[in-house]
Amino acid sequence: MRRRAFAGALALGATGALLSTGTAQAAGTARAAGRGRQIAPLPPSPAHPNGIQVETETVGRVRTAFPTLRTKEVHTKGEHVLSVEYQVQETGYWCGPAATRCALSARVAAPSQATLAAELGTHTGGTDDISQVTAVLNSRIDAGEYYTRYMPNDPPSQDQINLLWSDVTADIDNNYAVVANIVAPPGNQPPGYPSDQTIYHYFTVIGYDTDYNTVLIADSASFNGWQIYWLDFSQLATLIPPKGYSA
For residue 34, tell me if it sits in a domain: yes
Mean pLDDT of the 182-209 span: 97
CA count, 13 A, side-chain hemisphere, 143: 14
Q: Helix count (H) and strand count (E) of the chain? A: 6, 11
% the chain with pLDDT above 70: 82
- Sorted by sequence, the CB contacts under 8 Å of residue 143 that are 6+ apart come out as 107
Q: Which residue, among 63, 51, 126, has the nearest Cα to 91 in the 3D structure?
A: 126
For residue 15, tell me if it sits in a domain: no
Who has greater pLDDT, 212 or 27? 212
For residue 204, tell me if it sits in a domain: yes
pLDDT for 144 equals: 79
pLDDT for 32 equals: 38
> Can you give the residue range of the structural domain that contains 130?
29-246
Phi/psi of residue 201, each to 5°? -155, 160
Residue 99 maps to which CATH number?
3.90.70.10
For residue 2, tell me if it sits in a domain: no
For residue 208, tell me if it sits in a domain: yes
Mean pLDDT of the 176-183 span: 98
**230 has which bridge partners?**
216
**Residue 168 — left, alpha, or beta (φ > 0 → left; ψ -120 to 50 → alpha)?**
alpha
The Cα 194–Cα 186 span in angstroms is: 8
pLDDT for 24 equals: 63
Mean pLDDT of the 221-244 span: 98
CB 240 within 8 A of CB 61: no
For residue 230, tell me if it sits in a domain: yes
Q: Cβ atoms within 10 A of the Cβ of 135, count?
A: 18
Secondary structure (3-state) at 228: strand
Contacts 24+ apart (CB under 8 A), 9-12: 9/158, 9/161, 9/162, 9/164, 9/165, 9/233, 9/234, 9/237, 10/161, 10/213, 10/233, 10/234, 10/237, 11/158, 11/161, 12/155, 12/156, 12/161, 12/234, 12/237, 12/238
Mean pLDDT of the 206-230 span: 97
For residue 133, tell me if it sits in a domain: yes
pLDDT for 13 equals: 28
The Cα 70–Cα 193 span in angstroms is: 23
With bands split at pLDDT 50, 70 and 90, how would you rate the model's confidence at 82? very high
**Number of domains making up the chain:** 1
Mean pLDDT of the 112-117 span: 98
DSSP 8-class letter at 32: H
For residue 100, tell me if it sits in a domain: yes
| Amino acid of residue 13 | G
Give yes or no for residue 198 having a pLDDT over 70.
yes
**244 has which bridge partners?**
150
pLDDT for 65 equals: 82
